[in-house]
Amino acid sequence: MSNMNGAESLVRTLVASKVDVCFTNPGTSEMHFVAALDKVDGMRAILGLFEGAVTGMADGYGRMAEKPACTLLHLGPGLANGLANLHNAKRAQTPIVNIVGDHATYHAQYDAPLTSDIQGFARPVSGWIHSSPSPKTVAADGARAVQASMSAPGQIATLILPADTAWLESDGPAAALPINGPSPVSQVAIDTTAKALKSGKKAAIIIRGAALKKRGLIAAGRIAAATGARIMCDTFAPRVERGAGLVMVERIPYFAEQIVETFAAIEELILVCTKPPVSFFAYPGKASWCTPETAAIHYLAQGHEDGVQALEALADALGAPKDPIHVAPLKLSDLPKGKLDQFSAGAIIAHYLPEGAIISDEAATSGLGSAIATATAKPHDHLSLTGGAIGQGLPLATGAAVACPDRKVVCLHGDGGAMYTLQSLWTQAREKLDVVNIIFANNSYAILNIELMRVGAENPGPKALSMLDLHNPELNWVHLGQGMGVESVRVTTAEEFADAYVSALKAKGPRLIEVML
């Protein structure tokens, strides 16, 4: 007898396992977990007004904290609302302990209205799923979920919590389980890759995961110095350290034919915790597989292996110089005047970007300007839309701000995608999170105007074009932001944008700037 219900035993176990932030939108079946938040010190609970916001926040938190937050979602439909951003988190290999309340074990048989196949909903996004059968096991199940979520490189562990396992008497909390970090890479892989790079053939190294932070990048820059290999990352890398003082990484372009051209001359393709590049979508007559048939492909490190160690060992095996090449200089963009477009906005964003900023980037077709300009801005982290499920940027920024309260978060977002999870703004206001939300308002699903042509849908008519157009009626992001308690402003010139941006960077708490394109 522990005098402690299952919910409390679970919360105590999570805190003991260093999971101390819970992003949630709870319902009746989660009320005991919610009540336990006051009985246990050390768990911060953050409310989102929609589960797509909740799971996106957990992703942003996990990418920056490098440990899981937990979610707390309400049965199948609550989980379902969070699935799209869990898909993005899965693609980002973010550790998340995804807790879903369920009907009491004995209640499922009655097929009450909220009953659904929770495991079915969870399976496509989860690396680990378990439904707790008893209040006696829920604590141990929680410890296993944390451990599973941190299984390298990171994954979503879904723990389903029937209401009676939360309210019945438990046996008390469980101890934290050991976290197994990434595996070391084999010497064979290092030797093989070193040999390939010494061949003098044209080589590219594509890196993903933790090796896109400073230490891995230095090793990559040393390898480049020794071999001339190109240092690259996926189009949608979960997290990259960029800016002055960091080794620059070439990002693989988006469109199939650009990828093919990028890799056309490559003879040796080295992969570090990633896969060969493929087209995001299929297009009639265009390549899906984008590596030349003649290139040799080498997996230096698989996803669960230690990419940093692999790159450092490879640099040493190559006798690479101590200092990397491709180190970005600090070169602040000039401040443009007049016309406001993604390039003038990008220059201004980069010019004032504070050191240690975190950029959550779902700017889509409006993102090139800032991507170019921030390459030589002060050092920062860049988080991208990993799974193509739009509506990630605002919650990702929100979660990153929770993980890193001393860093400024800048969210770059297209208006179409931002509408998906705009509820995130309310959480930013409630938690007074330090996020500057920049909405690029082109009143369009602009990418689809490009894609419509690219897929060969010729001469689109007015109905088709109207499905891509958001002008009728025009969204007003100042109203939307203010409706959720975020100070918001609309800007139409470069000068207005610079003023609003500088003001937002100086302030504490969230701001929204609607950039009229």
Could you say whether residue 295 binds a second copy (CB under 8 A)? no
x-or-dash string of contact with a second copy, 342-371, rule CB under 8 A: ------------------------------
* 214-227 helix and 187-198 helix, angle to the nearest 10 degrees: 40
Q: Which range, of 123-131, 199-207, 336-344, 357-365, touches a second copy by CB under 8 A?
A: 123-131
> Dihedral (C-alpha) 343, 347, 353, 359: value to the nearest 10 degrees?
20
User: What is the chain's percent helix, strand, coil content, to nearest 5?
Assistant: 40, 20, 40
Residue ranges of the alpha helices (H) in 66-160? Answer: 75-92, 118-122, 138-149
- Closer by beta carbon to a second copy, 356 or else 460: 460
Minimum distance of a second copy from residue 384's CB (angstroms): 10
Regarding 462 and contact with a second copy (CB under 8 A), the answer is yes
Query: Any idea how long the chain is?
Result: 517
Between 49 and 325, name the residue whose CB sits nearer to a second copy. Answer: 49
Judged by CB, which is closer to a second copy: 103, or 298?
103
Binders of a second copy among residues 252 to 281 (CB under 8 A) are: 275, 278-281
What is the Cα–Cα distance from 296 to 317, expressed in whole angstroms? 20
Q: Which is nearer to a second copy, 153 or 387 (CB)?
A: 387
By CB under 8 A, tell whether 37 contacts a second copy: yes
Is 56 among the residues that bind a second copy (CB under 8 A)?
no
Q: How far is the CB of 184 from a second copy (least distance, A)?
A: 26
Rounded Cα distance, 216 and 219, in Å: 5
Q: Which of 127, 116, 78, 101 is nearest to 6 (CA)?
A: 101
**Residue 448 binds to a second copy (criterion: CB under 8 A):** yes
Q: Which is nearer to a second copy, 142 or 238 (CB)?
A: 238
**458 SS3 class:** coil
Considering the complex, state which of residue 164 and residue 312 has its C-beta at the smaller distance from a second copy: 164
Q: Measured in whole angstroms, how far is the alpha carbon of residue 210 from the centre of its chain?
A: 13
Answer left, alpha or beta for residue 226, where phi above 0 means left and psi between -120 and 50 means alpha: alpha
Among 175, 264, 335, 467, binds a second copy (CB under 8 A): 467
Distance CA 55, CA 24 (A): 8
Nearer to a second copy, 344 or 365 (CB): 365
The CA distance from 59 to 160, in Å, is 19
The C-alpha atoms of residue 67 and residue 154 are separated, in whole angstroms, by 9
Is 186 near a second copy (CB under 8 A)? no
Residue 23 sits at φ, ψ, to 5 deg, of: -95, 130
Contact residue for a second copy among 49, 177, 332, 505 (CB under 8 A): 49
The tokens describing 385, both together, are 């839309």
For 288, other C-beta atoms within 10 Å of its C-beta total 11
Residue-wise DSSP of 273-290:
SS---B-SS--TTS-SB-
In the list 180, 183, 187, 466, the residue contacting a second copy (rule: CB under 8 A) is 466
Interacting residue with a second copy among 14, 69, 83, 347 (CB under 8 A):
83
Query: Mask 63-82, x = binds a second copy (CB under 8 A)?
Result: ------------xxxx-xx-
Ranges within 385-444 binding a second copy (CB under 8 A):
386-389, 391, 416, 419-420, 422-423, 426, 429-430
The answer to the question of residue 3 lying near a second copy (CB under 8 A) is: no
Dist. CA 389–CA 391, nearest whole Å:
7
Angle of helix 75-92 relative to helix 51-65, nearest 10 degrees, comes to 30
Q: Is 106 in the site for a second copy (CB under 8 A)?
A: yes
> Interface with a second copy includes 107 (CB under 8 A)?
yes
372 binds a second copy (CB under 8 A): no
214 lies in the site for a second copy, by CB under 8 A = no
Q: Is 507 in the site for a second copy (CB under 8 A)?
A: no
Q: Find where tokens 């700017």 sit.
A: 363
Name which position in 27, 253, 356, 379 contacts a second copy (CB under 8 A). 27
Q: What's the min distance (Å) between Cβ of 263 and a second copy?
A: 15
Helix (H, G, I), strand (E, B) or coil at 376: coil
Q: Binding-site residue total for a second copy (CB under 8 A)?
A: 101
Q: Which of 456, 492, 502, 507 binds a second copy (CB under 8 A)?
A: 456
Q: According to the binding rule CB under 8 A, does residue 239 interact with a second copy?
A: no
d(CA 391, CA 433): 19
Residue 79 C-beta: closest distance to a second copy, Å: 9
CA distance 71 to 61: 11
Distance of CA 60 to the CA centre of its chain: 5
Sole window of 140-148, 299-307, 433-441, 464-472 interacting with a second copy (rule: CB under 8 A) = 464-472
Beta strands in 145-255 (DSSP E): 156-162, 203-207, 230-233, 239-242, 250-251
Q: Does 41 bind a second copy (CB under 8 A)?
A: no
